[in-house]
Structure 1
Amino acid sequence: MNIKKLLSLALLAALPLLSSAQQKANWQNLDLKTDTTFGISTEKAYKELLKGKKSTPVLVAVLDGGVDLNHEDLKRVIWTNKKEVAGNGVDDDKNGYVDDVHGWNFLGGKTGSVEFETLELTRLVRRDNARFAGITASTVTVKDKAAYEAFVNNRTELEKQLATAKSDLQGITGFKYYLDLVVKKIGKENPTAKDFEAFKATTKQEEGIKAAVLGILNEMDFKTFYDTQIEAGLKQATGQVNYNLNIDYDPRSIVGDNPNDSKERFYGNNDIKGPDALHGSHVSGIIGADRTNTIGIKGVADNVIIIGVRNTPNGDERDKDVANAIRYAADNGAKVLNMSFGKSYSWDKAVVDEAVKYAVSKDVLLVHAAGNDNNDVDVENNFPTAKYLDGSIASSWLTVGASGPKDDETLKAAFSNYGKTTVDVFAPGVRILSTVPDNNKYIEEDGTSMAAPVVAGLAALIRSYYPKLTAIQVKDIIMKSVVKVNHNVSTMKGADTVSIPFADLCVSGGIVNAYNALKLAASYK
C-alpha cells in the first residue's frame, strides 16, 4: 500500500480492496462464467482438457529476491542440480558456480548476502557526482553537455524522491505512534471494529485514527492491517530513506565483485533463499505450488520445477545481475523465466539486451511484470524491456499487467502499469494468496509481480503438455487466447479518475486464459 494513501483518510476509505466476503480462494485459477470471478480458467482446463493426459516437467526460473526451498508447498518442486555434489566446495559440473545445487545467488559473497540496495537513480547520481565534481553548466565541455544535463536532472529527481520519502517516513511514524496509543487504551492486541466504535477519542489525532481504522476493518482484521500495512509501510519508508535513496550507502562489497564490470560472470554464492525470500517465494507458489497435496494453495502449473536465481534486492536490481541471472537460467535448461522486478533507469541496458537475445536463442520465454506505478509504459520507462537498443523486439517476451476479480470498471488493478503497444496481456494480480518463507506461511499480495507468475505458470503448463511448441509459439498462443474485454475501466490520470477502454491497456486487449490457450495449443499449427 502506498504510504500517502495510508495517511489520507479519504483515500483509505476508497481503497479498492476485495472484502473477505467477496474473496474466493484460488480465484486467479477460477472461471468467469462458472465462478463469476475473472480468473484464467485453470481449474476448468484441468477438469475438462487435461484429465488423464501426460505431461513432461518444465523448468521455470524465478529471477527474484530469493525462494524458500523448504516450504511445504514448494519443496517438492524445487530444482536440484544432479551434476553438482552438495557441500563439497567443488564446481562439479564446471559451470563456474560452486555448489549451485538449487540455483544461484548473484547478490551473495563469502560473508553473506545483500538485502538492501540503492535505486538505480541513486547509483547514477553517485557515479556522476564524481565525474562532474566542480563542473557547472558554464564550464562543461560540448562533448559532455548532454551527460551533464542528464546528471543534473537525475540529481534533482533524487532530491525530490528523498524529500518525499522523508515526509512519508515522518507521516507513517506519527500515524503508528498514535495508533499504538489508541490500541493501548483499548487494551486489546487485536481489537475489532466494535472495539474501535466503542473507543472514546479525546484528541483530533485519536479521532483521525479511529475513523481511518474503522474504514479498514471492513476489509481485514486489525492484526493483518497492522502487520501488512503499518509495519510493512514503516519498513518500506525506512528502507527508502536509509538505503534506496541514500547516496552514501553501498553494500556491494559483500558480493566481492567489480559492480562496474558488466562482463563479469562468476561471482555470488549458492544461497537461493537469501535474507528476504518473501517476494520470490510468493511468486514461486503462484507458478507451481504443489497441486498433488491437500495443503496450502494450488499453483497454475502441475508439472514444473522451480530454479531460484537471486538477483533482486530490496532496492533496484543491477543490470549486471539481471543479465547473469538470465544467462544462468537459460544455461541450466529453464524454458520459462519469471521476472517480477523493474526500475525506471538502466545502468547498462546493452548487457541485458545481450542476455535476453541469448535466452531467446535458447528457446526461452521471458515473462516480465509491467510495474506498479499506474504508468503508461508506452511513454514511461520500466526496465528491463522487450525493446532492444537497436529498436527491434525480443520475440519470446511477454509483459504483463495486473487485473482484479470483477468484470467491471475495477478490472484493471489501480496500481498496474499499462501500455497499448508495450504491455502484452493482463492477468490476476490483486490479493493473490501464495507461499511465503518460514513456518510454511501463506499471505495475500498485490502487484504485477503476482500477475507475471500467473502467466509464467500458464506458459509452463502449455509447454508441459505440448513440449514440441517453441517459446515464440507459446507466446502467440497466450496472446491469441485471451478473453477480450470490451468495456471501459477506471484508472487515475493525475488526480482525476478517468474511464478508458480496456483494449487501450495492452496489445491483446484481454486477460490470459488457460482453458482457451490449451484448446488452441492442441490444434496449433
Structure 2
Amino acid sequence: MELQTWYQKDYQEDSIPGISLDKWYRLNKKKPKSKNIIVAVIDTQIDINHEDLQGQFWTNEKEIPNNGIDDDDNGYIDDINGWSYTGTKNGGYVVWSNYEYVRIVRDWGPLFAGKTDSQIDAQDLYKYKEYHRALKELEDKNKYYKNWFKSLNHNVAIYPLVKDTLKFFFPKEDYSYKQLDSLYKKYKINDKRYKQRRDDNDKDLGALISYMMVNLEVNEKTFEEVRDMQTQLDSIVNKKLNIEYNERLLIGDNPNVLEKGYGNNNVSNNKEGHRPIKNHCTKVAGVIAANRQNDIGIKGIVQDVKIMPLNILPKGDEHDKDITMAIRYAVDNGAKVINMSFAKEFSLHKEWVTEAFKYAEEHNVLLVHCAANEGLDVDKNPFYPSDNDFEDYKEISVNFINVGSVTHNLDSTFVSDFSNFGKQNVDLFAPGDEIYSTSPGNKYVFDSGTSLAAPMVSGTAALIWLYYPKLTVQEVKQIILDSGTAYNLEVIVPGTKDKKALFSELSKSGKVLNVFDAMQLAEKVSKKKL
C-alpha cells in the first residue's frame, strides 16, 4: 500500500478505507461552475512560501500592500493574505498563552471563590460550576507539571556527571542498555574495582548507571533534547499555568472586549529561538489545497480553492475573542468554508463564539472542526468550540461539522486511539492517521491527529460548492454526513485498552467521509432544486 496517499483510495477498488478521492477525479468529466472557493484556515502561522502551496492563497485585492492604510475599510490594515490575531505590536507573534481554565480561574475567581451553591444566583450557577471545574483542573495540572519540572531539573543537573562518570568505563561513550545493565549488576554485588572508583562525596555510581539505563530504555533522549524539554516545561509552568501571566500585553488589546484591528498582518511569521509554529497550519492547508497541477509534493483535495490563513493558535489555548473575530473576518471576506483544527476543554466567552456561528450560518458558511485528540467521549466531556452549548445541551447552529479520525486498518483499531468520539457531538470520521502533507521549508511529513481529519471534510465541502454553488450550507452538511461510508465492525473505543463498540455508535452519522459518494449525492440534491 502507498502509505503517502492511502486516504485518497477507495475501499471497493483498493481495499483501503480511504475517502474515494482518486476515484472521483478519475471518473469525473464535468467542469466546475465556480472559479474558486475560499477556505479560511483558522490555525497557527503558515509557511506562505511553501512550493506546493503556491497559487493557492487568497489575496485581498481591495487592499494595497504595505501602505499602512486600511484601503478596503474593513478594520484591518494591509491584510493582504489574512490576519494574525496573535500578532504583537512589534510585528512578531505570541508564542505562549494561558490555558483557558487558568483564565476562568483568574476572571471568575472574584465572583465565586469561597462561595457555596446556596449563595449563587440561578443564572450564574453554570458559570459557578465551570469555575470549580476549571479550578480543579488548574490544581491538578499545576501539581503534575511542577513535579515533572522538578524531576527534569534534577536530570539536567545530573546528566553531565553521569556522562563523565561513564567515560571511565566506556571512553568512546558507545555503551548499550545491556552493557550498562551488566555494569550495574557488577556494582550491586560489591565488586571492589567499582567501589574503589567511588569517593564518599561522589554521587552513588549505581544511581548514575541506573539513570542512564532509564534514559536509554524509556526516554531515549539526548542531553540537548532533555534541555529542550526543560525549556518547554518552564514555559508551561510559568506561562501556560501561571495565573499572573498575561500574553495580551504583547498584543496590546483587551481580550474581554470584541474589536477589530488588533494583531498584525504577518500570517507567515516565525521567531528565532522557538520551535517553528508554522508546522500545524501548513499541514492542514496542504491536505485541503496542495497544488494538484505542479507534479511536486502531494495533491490536495481540491485545486480551485484559495486558502485564507487566520492565526489564532499559540502554545496554550486560543482566546474566544480571537475565534470570534476570525470567523467574522472569514465570513465578511468571502470564505465559504472555515476549517478549525483546534479545541479546548473550557470556554470563557462561549456566547461570543455562538453568535459568530450564527453569523456564519446566516451567510451560508460551513464550519468544520476537529473533534480533538484526548480519546474522550465528547458527549460527556465538553470540547470547544462546539454547536452544542453544553449548558442545556441544545444545538446552536446547523452549519457545524465535528470530525473524528480513523486509521487505514479496517479492524478493531480502525478508530484512531487518540480520537475523541460521541454519538451526538461527533458528526462523522475521516482519515487522520499517518497523513502525508506539506511542512514548512518545502518539506513533506507524516503526522496524525483529528486536525488532519477536519481538512478532509473542508476540502470536500469546497469541492461540492465548486460544482453545485446553489446548495445551502445545511444541504452541504447533510450531503457529507449522509454520503459517508458505513463500516459494520466492532472497534476499540478510544481511551480504553480493550472495550469495544460498533463503529456506527461512535458518531452521529456512524460513517466515514466519502468524496465520490458526496459528489454523486450533491448532484441529485441539486437537480431536485431545479
Same fold, judged at TM 0.5 (above):
yes
What secondary structure sits across from 1:321 in the alignment? Answer: helix
In the other structure, the counterpart of 1:251 is: 247
Q: Are the equivalent residues in 2 in contact too, given 1:178–1:206 (CA < 8 A)?
A: no
2:430 aligned with 1:427: yes
Per the alignment, in what secondary structure is the counterpart of residue 204 of structure 1? helix
Rg bigger for which structure?
2
Deviates more, 1:116-125 or 1:160-169: 160-169
How far the C-alpha of 1:403 sits from its partner, in A, is 0.8
1:329-349 Cα shifts (integer Å, max 9, x gaps): 000000000001111111111
Shift of 1:49: 2.1
CA contact 1:140–1:148 (8 Å) conserved in 2 = no
1:56/1:465 contact within 8 Å kept = no
Question: How far apart in 2 are the matches of 1:232 and 1:410?
Answer: 33
Of 96, 99, 114 in structure 2, the residue corresponding to residue 136 of structure 1 is: 114
Match of 2:374 in 1: 373
Note the 1:161-310 alignment, pairs <5 A. Answer: 161-169=141-149, 201=181, 202=183, 203-212=209-218, 237-261=233-257, 263-275=258-270, 276-310=277-311
State whether residues 461 and 476 of structure 2, in contact with CA within 8 Å, keep that contact through their aligned partners in structure 1.
yes
1:78 pairs with 57, 60, 69, which one?
A: 57
1:76 partner SS:
coil
- Pairwise CA distance, 1:521: 1.7
Which residue does the alignment assign to 2:453? 451
Structure 1: runs of 5 or more not aligned: 1-21, 215-221
Shift of 1:54: 6.4
Does 1:464 pair with 2:466? yes
Equivalent residue for 1:520?
521
The alpha-carbon deviation at position 486 of structure 1 amounts to: 0.9
Unaligned 5+ runs, structure 2: 184-208, 271-276
The answer on whether the counterparts of 2:31 and 2:467 sit within 8 Å (CA) in structure 1 is no
Distance change (3 Å), C-alpha of 1:68 and 1:493: closer
Q: Is 1:160 aligned with 2:162?
A: no
**How far did residue 286 of structure 1 move?**
0.9
Q: Does 1:24 align with 2:3?
A: yes
Structure 1 window deviating more from structure 2 (97-106 vs 164-173): it is 164-173
Asked if 2 retains the 8 angstrom alpha-carbon contact of 1:56 and 1:467, the reply is: no
CA 1:288 to 1:172, structure 2 compared with 1: closer, same or farther past 3 Å?
farther
Corresponding residue SS for 1:63: strand
* TM-score relative to the length of structure 2: 0.83
- Give the Cα–Cα distance (whole angstroms) in 2 for the partners of residues 254 and 241 of structure 1: 19
CA contact 1:64–1:339 (8 Å) conserved in 2: yes
Cα distance in 1 between the residues matched to 2:148 and 2:136? 18
In structure 2, distance between residues paired with 1:64 and 1:165: 26
| SS of equivalent residue, structure 2 residue 347 | coil
1:161 deviation in Å? 1.1
SS, match of residue 292 in structure 1: coil
Q: Is the 8 A contact 1:29 1:42 kept in 2?
A: yes
Q: Any idea what the Cα deviations from partners look like across 1:50-91, whole Å, max 9, x if unmatched? A: 576665311000001122211111121011111100000111
Deviations 1:466-498 (A, max 9, x none): 22222221111111111102111112556x431
Structure 1 residues 515 and 233 mapped into 2: Cα distance closer, same or farther (>3 Å)? farther
Distance in 2, matches of 1:114 and 1:35, equals 45
Aligned pairs, how many?
Answer: 485
Pairwise CA RMSD of aligned residues?
3.2
What is the match of residue 99 of structure 1? Answer: 78
Residue in structure 2 matched with residue 408 of structure 1 by the alignment: 411
Give 1:445 deviation, angstroms: 1.9
Tell me if structure 1 keeps the 8 A contact 2:177–2:217. no
Separation in 2, partners of 1:464, 1:119: 38
Percent identity over the alignment is: 39
Aligned to 2:436, the other structure's residue is in SS state strand
Provide the rounded CA distance (Å) in 1 between the counterparts of 2:5 and 2:457. 15
In structure 1, what residue type is equivalent to 2:450?
A: T
1:365 Cα shift? 0.7
Offset from partner CA, 1:157-215 (integer Å, 9 cap, x none): 20101212234445667789999978x989999x9xxx96886554334444444479x
1:47 aligned residue (15, 26, 33) = 26
- Counterparts of 1:178 and 1:497 in 2: how far apart (Å)? 40
Pick aligned residue for 1:125 from 105, 122, 142: 105
